[in-house]
Amino acid sequence: MPLKFYNTLTKQKEIFTSINRDEVRMYTCGPTVYNYTHIGNLRAFVFADVLSRTLKYSGLKVKQIMNITDIGHLTSDADSGDDKMTKGLLREGKTLTLKNMRELAEFYTESFKKDLKTLNIKDPSGMYFASDYVKEDIELIKKLEDKKYTYKTSDGIYFDISKMPDYGVLWGGMRNWNKEGARIVENSEKKNPEDFALWKFNNKIGFESPFGKGFPGWHIECSAMGIKFLGEQFDIHTGGIDLVPTHHTNEIAQSECATGKKPFVRFWIHNEFVDTGGEKMAKSSGNFLKIESLIERKINPIAYRFWLLMANYHTKVSFNWDVLEGSEIALKRLYKLYIELGKKVGKIDINYQKKFKEYLEDDLDTPRALSLLWDLIKDETVSPADKKATILDFDKVLGLGFENLKEEIIPENILKLVGERELARKNKDFKKSDELRDKINSLGYEIKDLSAQAGSSDGPQISKI
């Protein structure tokens, strides 16, 4: 089976081949580090991780680059509003200097890296701060200037989209998309409402440039860094679906017009959003769920990764605590069944491996891959040792952490109390059952009764608090 991915550029599922046979070059838009990363953002990174792991599972070498946006991103994805990093500095009562901006960025980048580790997201081949590549931004803008794609207004240097006949192909050629989305605020000096800033002037804080002091536009960062680390044309670019109409559309425009080469990127692959309904999720409001929020609720963060994999990356998912807790119960059950397979690791079951690969290579069908994992566990024709080897093989892509699972030894006195509580529950003596639960908690263990929804016929799950 060939690898196939849905390409936002062509609006269809296509067979994937890399430009250079021996290596896939992939760029992932990183976070804007003016605040903590929220769990919605992290879907973009779990998705890119699964994509990169799948490419490797298929035998390909992958060079994955990620930028860290530590300058230039305004509150509107287009070019209006405040600078997000400046907002971060003001929020934290720090003076506006480039040094403080960098410190703020480093603080939130460390926290982001911790989140990646917690979610078993593998480090990309390179992760770079945008502020270290301003020279490259300036060079790219100069190239565009030489080719007459730019003009100057009182607040910056702009890209004139009317000079590029196929501007907006990623967005389906809908030149008027912004009329619907109303994301571009009119700027009377712009020649076209969709024109975007390559450089924004700022005489208080910023970098020196031939155009004047200021900051590169957010879009130019990713073009310049993509070209620097992966070349003028590369294979894959990822990001959340919200980046399609502006950020990625403008990356294509700048890059292709500066280099004269089309396409800048062959496969644009985007993840859908995590919708949190009642739970707020905007970094700008400061009120959002982060990995810490899961840990505070004593939920294993891998349950979040597991929950994300239950849906295809094209599907919008609605987060709430109930679904996450359900996913944690199912994950714990999976872990328990895995541990019960014993210590011996046998041989990978080739038939299961073939199917697993087939599902993932079909546009990362993780829901099918997970259901295959459950089938394997239930399959009595496969020996426990071979199941173990096959699960470990699947986990190269799933990243659920089977390899590091250790059997948790529950002390006898706790098991005895759990047994007594089960009996009380059976006899509908809920008062006694609650008292026993409290006692178990006070001894440092928690008990979770598996719901029918998690598909369990087992007893309760006991784990250390």
Using the contact rule CB under 5 A, the part of the chain among 28-36, 105-113, 323-331, 333-341 near Zn ion is 28-36
Residues 400, 403, 407, CA angle at the centre, nearest 5°? 100
How many residues appear in the chain? 465
Contact status: 40 vs ligand AMP (CB under 6 A):
yes
Instruction: Choose which of 6, 16, 31, 72 interacts with ligand AMP (CB under 6 A).
Output: 31
CB of 113 to ligand AMP, least distance (A): 14
DSSP per position, 94-125: ----HHHHHHHHHHHHHHHHHHHHHTTPPPPS
Contact status: 41 vs ligand AMP (CB under 6 A):
yes
Strand 234-240 and strand 281-282: pairing? Answer: unpaired
Q: From the list ligand AMP, Zn ion, none, which binds 281 (C-beta under 5 to 8 Å, kind-based)? A: ligand AMP
CB of 100 to Zn ion, least distance (A): 23
Instruction: Choose which of 7, 8, 18, 32 interacts with ligand AMP (CB under 6 A).
Output: 32
Return d(Cα 187, Cα 195) in angstroms, integer: 10
Strand 126-129 and strand 461-464: pairing? Answer: unpaired
Asked whether the bond before 165 is cis by omega within 30 degrees of 0, the reply is no
Burial of residue 429 (CB within 10 Å: 0-12, 13-18, 19+) is middle
Contact status: 281 vs ligand AMP (CB under 6 A):
yes
Place of tokens 């890209």: 159
- x/- string (CB under 5 A) for Zn ion, residues 81-120? ----------------------------------------
Specify the 3-state DSSP secondary structure of 205. coil
Binding residues for ATP: 283
Place of tokens 């997000």: 84
DSSP per position, 87-100: HHHHHTT----HHH
Instruction: Choose which of 29, 157, 303, 377 interacts with Zn ion (CB under 5 A).
Output: 29
Return d(Cα 137, Cα 209) in angstroms, integer: 10
Instruction: Choose which of 72, 88, 216, 239 interacts with ligand AMP (CB under 6 A).
Output: 239
Contact status: 240 vs ligand AMP (CB under 6 A):
yes
Q: From the list ligand AMP, Zn ion, none, which binds 41 (C-beta under 5 to 8 Å, kind-based)? A: ligand AMP
CB of 137 to Zn ion, least distance (A): 13
CB of 178 to ligand AMP, least distance (A): 18
Helices 302-309, 39-57: inter-axial angle, 10-degree rounding: 70
Q: Are 222 and 251 in contact (CB under 8 A)?
A: yes
Return d(Cα 445, Cα 187) in angstroms, integer: 60
Return d(Cα 214, Cα 107) in angstroms, integer: 23
Q: From the list ligand AMP, Zn ion, none, which binds 222 (C-beta under 5 to 8 Å, kind-based)? A: Zn ion
Q: Report the C-alpha dihedral over residues 173, 176, 178, 179, rounded to 10 degrees.
A: -150
Tokens of 320: 């709430």
CB of 318 to Zn ion, least distance (A): 26
Q: How many CA atoms lie within 13 Å of 324's alpha carbon, on the beta-carbon side?
A: 21
Q: From the list Zn ion, ligand AMP, none, which binds 86 (C-beta under 5 to 8 Å, kind-based)? A: none
Q: Are 232 and 255 in contact (CB under 8 A)?
A: yes
Instruction: Choose which of 273, 311, 345, 401 interacts with ligand AMP (CB under 6 A).
Output: 273
CB of 116 to ligand AMP, least distance (A): 12
Contact status: 222 vs Zn ion (CB under 5 A):
yes
CB of 455 to ligand AMP, least distance (A): 27
Instruction: Choose which of 144, 274, 289, 334 interacts with ligand AMP (CB under 6 A).
Output: 274
Minimum CB distance to ligand AMP smaller for 93 or for 277? 277
Contact status: 44 vs ligand AMP (CB under 6 A):
yes
Binding residues for Zn(2+): 29, 222, 247, 251
Q: From the list ligand AMP, Zn ion, none, which binds 7 (C-beta under 5 to 8 Å, kind-based)? A: none
275-287 burial: b if 16+ Cβ within 10 Å, else e: ebeebebebbeee
Q: From the list ligand AMP, Zn ion, none, which binds 32 (C-beta under 5 to 8 Å, kind-based)? A: ligand AMP
Minimum CB distance to ligand AMP smaller for 244 or for 447? 244
Q: Are 149 and 163 in contact (CB under 8 A)?
A: yes
Return d(Cα 331, Cα 394) in angstroms, integer: 15
Minimum CB distance to ligand AMP smaller for 242 or for 446? 242
Number of residues engaging ligand AMP in binding (CB under 6 A): 16
Minimum CB distance to ligand AMP smaller for 241 or for 337? 241
Alpha helices in 12-83 (DSSP H): 39-57
CB of 3 to ligand AMP, least distance (A): 22
Binding residues: 29, 222, 247, 251, 283
Using the contact rule CB under 5 A, the part of the chain among 23-31, 285-293, 358-366, 368-376 near Zn ion is 23-31
* Footprint of Zn ion (CB under 5 A): 29, 222
**Positions in the binding site for ligand AMP (CB under 6 A):** 29, 31-32, 40-41, 43-44, 69, 239-240, 242-243, 271, 273-274, 281
